[in-house]
Structure 1
Amino acid sequence: MDKYSELVAFLHSARSRSFSAAARNLDLTPSAVSKLVARLETRLGVRLFVRQGRTVALTEEGQSYLPSAEMVVEAMANADAHGEALGEALHGKVRVHTMLTFARHQIVPWLPAFLKSYPGLSVEFHIAPQYEDAFDKGVDVAIHSGALPSSSRVARKIAASRWIVCASPEYLARHGRPQTPADLQQHTCVGFSFVSEWNVWPFRAEDGTTYGVRPASVVDTTQGEIARDLALDGFGIVRLAEFHIGQDLRAGRLMPVLEAYQDPAKEPLYLVYPGRKHLSPRVKVFCDYLTERLAAQSWAQ
């Protein structure tokens, strides 16, 4: 009897609250998942789920059993990870969920050297502007900034970045510099088209308190890279992370504005893992390589 398959089917069903969704993640049929869960319930002598049409919900017994099942499956994953490390070379694909801006400006520059050092590895990017839990879809690690939703995942801070209000010299020559945050309402600004704290620009008052301004944006986008391109073309004022536009600021392609009101707080960047213990060696070496590169960046301190 394959007790491990029963546990995996149980965990995926508990997380997705659906046998059908669990089946898609496991590449099984819904009936196969249902049978595995039913077999587990028979073996334990308790009902773990309440079936509610197309969805399922954990019973009190199922909620009590969930932590133990997670520990067993995690232990099996750790055993597999240690086994993977027994080979002389690292092999496999590292699936990374992150923002386009971070991938392009903080991973791609060193990625060729990394893959040359570890020729048995490959990297697959899953790009999204905000964090989402995609570990059940095969993602190995997520790299995102800002507030993360509460979950059982493990998040480790690896850096912190300021967000800078800026524009191109061409834009400022044509339209002048805003002197106070309130002046932004008379300027062309670019924002994000999804619900996010990034659409409220924080500024520091003379008494040291922080307050937010929501500029009336002319263009909204899901990707910070589009906002950067518009700013570089002289279109308007943006507020973007220093890890994204640091080189543009140093080269003078973008210039900070409202510096007297700059919010001193930095936004943290996190590595998010699915479990609490050992990472697969292929994932660990990628994360270690990334952490070393970030440690050398002045903006990340």
Structure 2
Amino acid sequence: MDHYSQMLAFVWATEHGSFSAAARANGLTPSAISKLISRLEDRLHVRLFQRGTRSLTLTEEGSAYLVSARGVMHAMAEADSLAQAFPDRVSGSLRIHTMTTFAKHQILPWLPDFLSAYPGLTVDLQAGPQYVDLFEQGLDIAIHSGGLPDSSRVARKIGESAWITCASADYLARRGTPNTPMDLLKHDCFTFGFQSAWNTWQFRAGERGVCTVPIVPKAVFAQGDLLREMALRGAGIVKLAQFHIGADLQQGRLIPLLTDFSLPHKEPIYLIHANRKHLSPRIRVFRDFLEQRLKESPWG
């Protein structure tokens, strides 16, 4: 039962002097007002009005209840006023989970500017290689790439990134450059140490075919940055996301390999949040800030 509606009907009736006048002023029928007040009196076990043919008179109990009811309505109006200001108020804590490499290479470079723009906001940035649904534990945003499990979460595509097979110039000078995908079997390669589609090294074979090279890694690592470091040190060949090593490729620290055999597929990157409606200001401003920075990147 809606106790607030009953109390509201009571206050309206006292302000307008009759059920019919209260009903007209608020788009209801007199019988609806009468029923709400009758339910209120039944719930309170007191009579609030002395009902006359032309007017209403408050009982002693009604007068006392009116004071409290107006206080509640004032508090409700104040709460609504504060809530209506929330869309323009960016404050509180924003909890984010994303890939370690994405956090390091695509968020940290501009995060100081974001925090300066929203001084009332604090950020809790958590990182891990794979998507985990932590929204029931208070997570606000997840940013991950690749396929996502079916769920009620809202996933917004914010970019896409190719996966690049690459090595350093020093390694290629020492060991030679692979000319076909199967040449990779003669080279030192490194992969992730957990089960992932990222460990599947696929290339174009013919006009429409795809071949998978059965890479036997010399070593495996839990984080993409460790794979990157091995490649930069000239230790071998890796396959990493373009958003991760884009600057290394542009500046020649890493050399893309087998580009004639590259598949056109790019992996989508998603920003995930819990609900479609009533997106909080802190999520909205972070999303907009991130999307603008990705537009400015060469791969975004």
TM-score normalised by L of structure 1 = 0.70
For the pair 1:279 / 2:241, whether they are aligned, the reply is: no
Cα pair distance change 1:229/1:197, threshold 3 Å: same
| Conserved 8 A contact 1:84-1:281 | no
1:132-211 alignment, distance < 5 Å? 132-211=132-211
1:41-120 alignment, distance < 5 Å? 83=83, 85-86=85-86, 89-120=89-120
Gaps of 5+ in 1: 2-78
Counterpart secondary structure, 1:299:
coil
Q: Map Cα deviations across residues 236-268 of structure 1 (whole Å, 9 max, x no partner).
A: 100000000000000000001111111111000
In the alignment of these two chains, the number of paired residues is 222
Cα pair distance change 1:284/1:84, threshold 3 Å: farther
| Conserved 8 A contact 1:115-1:121 | yes
1:248-267 alignment, distance < 5 Å? 248-267=248-267
Aligned match of 1:54? none
Cα pair distance change 1:207/1:115, threshold 3 Å: same
Q: Which residue identity lines up with residue 167 of structure 2 in the other structure? A: A
- Structure 1 residue 83, shift from structure 2 partner: 2.3
TM-score normalised by L of structure 2 = 0.71
Counterpart secondary structure, 1:217:
coil
Mean Cα displacement is larger for which, 167-176 or 84-93?
Answer: 84-93
Aligned match of 2:5? none
CA RMSD of aligned residues (A): 1.9
Gaps of 5+ in 2: 2-78
Q: Which residue identity lines up with residue 230 of structure 2 in the other structure? A: L
For the pair 1:294 / 2:294, whether they are aligned, the reply is: yes
Cα pair distance change 1:137/1:169, threshold 3 Å: same
Q: Map Cα deviations across residues 193-222 of structure 1 (whole Å, 9 max, x no partner).
A: 111111111101122322222311111112
Counterpart secondary structure, 2:288:
helix
Q: How far apart, CA to CA, are the structure 1 residues paired with 2:94 and 2:212?
A: 39
Larger Rg computed on CA atoms: 2
Mean Cα displacement is larger for which, 90-99 or 245-254?
Answer: 90-99
Q: Map Cα deviations across residues 164-216 of structure 1 (whole Å, 9 max, x no partner).
A: 00000011011001111111111111101111111111101122322222311
- Structure 1 residue 119, shift from structure 2 partner: 0.7
| Conserved 8 A contact 1:165-1:238 | yes
- Structure 1 residue 151, shift from structure 2 partner: 1.1
| Conserved 8 A contact 1:85-1:281 | no
Identity of aligned residues (%): 53
| Conserved 8 A contact 1:84-1:280 | no
